[in-house]
A = this chain, B = another copy of it.
Amino acid sequence: MERVAIIGASMTRFGERDGWVRDLLAEAGEACLRDAGVAGSDLDHLYVSNMASGEFEGQTGVPNALAHDLNAMPAYTARIDQTSSSGGAGVYAAWQSVASGASDLTMLVGGEKMTHRTTAEATDVIASLTHPAEYKHGVTLPSFAGMTARLYLDTYDAPRESLGKVAVKNHRNGVDNPHAQFRKEVDLETVLESPIVADPLRLYDFCPITDGSAALLFCPADVAEEYVPKDDYVTIEGIGGATDTHVVHERADPTTMGGVADSSDDAYEMAGLGPDDVDVAELHDMFTILEFLQSEDLGFFEKGKGWKAVEEGVTDRDGDLPINTSGGLKSKGHPLGASGVAQVYEIFAQLTGQAGDRQVEADVGLACNVGGFGNCVTTAVMEGHR
């Protein structure tokens, strides 16, 4: 198994963007090539993380178009889809391409173009990942989030306010992220009084619908310094992926995300590291409640104690374990196929000292990307080399 490095990273501004997903992918891809100082024609493999360009734009075959736009032909291309965790699945695919020896230089570009569709249309495309019986009964992902939040608050005696504090924290982080969709602080009162979406969750407990793209460049770790200086790359020390039940009602405990636990077990084992070694993490806060669940199932906090860590500021930027320094999906935005790639972009920036006003002290970082309502998950553990 070849050890794999990430030697370049980029992302576009997230938010409402003009153009097509192809334009956004090219923007991120070109910036990533510049970041590492390589040409598109140097690429062996080029992967695109994208859930639904066909459904959103009537356009498929996007990886082939991107190979043209980046002048990467005849690089091998493919699209990787794992619904909202397509980005993490792309990271795993890119890692495999280098770890297997099939490619010496692989680019991954994740992206989605969504805001030209109405919220109802976009939600409908996303809901197509659920079981038809769930869909028919109106149990979309936000509904699951509301029911799970209620169960969590009741089971673990957590105050409603603790969920709101996830939104407040992540919005505060987003202010310092020039790529974020929302760069504005919100106070707890605003979150708690925003319109109800799925009781007890309110508007500010949800991530927005977003356009955007992010890109990463992978090579064997033993040649990373032929491309970039020592302090400009990270290594993937461990990576894993796992599924949980396709229908949520089959889970013994809906407040536990089995895919998060299983994928991180694999990632920790490969890395020879554990949750205590992680200095900074990007979690999939599509809904505020998900940040609690993941922070527990990754082993950062005991079951039912994730909310306390947020209350006590442990996950703040100046806390012991900063979570979602990028602003998270909550304020940075959630362009489906881009999100898992952008999580790794943030960890890359933090571990190479390029995170600007968001910079924290960190040698080891973790990214956890969740598809569906925990249906499929990838987790990666990375190390900086400074």
Q: Which residues of A come within 8 Å of B, CB atoms?
A: 1-2, 45, 51-52, 54-55, 58-61, 63-65, 67-68, 72-83, 89, 92-93, 95-97, 99-102, 125, 128-132, 239-247, 258-259, 262-263, 371-372, 375-376, 378
Contacts and interface: CB of A to CB of B under 8 A. Distances in A.
Nearest to A261: B74
Nearest to A129: B61
Given A100-B99, A243-B73, A245-B73, A78 B92 contact: yes
Interface majority SS on A: helix, strand, loop or mixed? mixed
Given A68-B245, A68-B247, A77-B82, 8 more contacts: A51-B60, A59-B128, A60-B128, A76-B92, A76-B378, A78-B89, A78-B92, A81-B81
How many copies of this chain are found per oligomer?
2
A246 B64 contact: yes
Nearest to A65: B246
Residue of A45, A78, A82, A93 with highest tally of chain B CB at under 10 A: A78
Nearest to A240: B76
A120 B228 CA distance: 51
B76 A241 contact: yes
Contacts of A100: 1-2, 95-96, 99-100
Across the A-B interface, the 8 shortest Cβ-Cβ residue pairs? A61-B129, A76-B241, A99-B100, A100-B100, A1-B101, A74-B242, A79-B81, A68-B246
Contacts of A1: 100-102
Given A74-B262, A100-B1, A372 B61 contact: yes
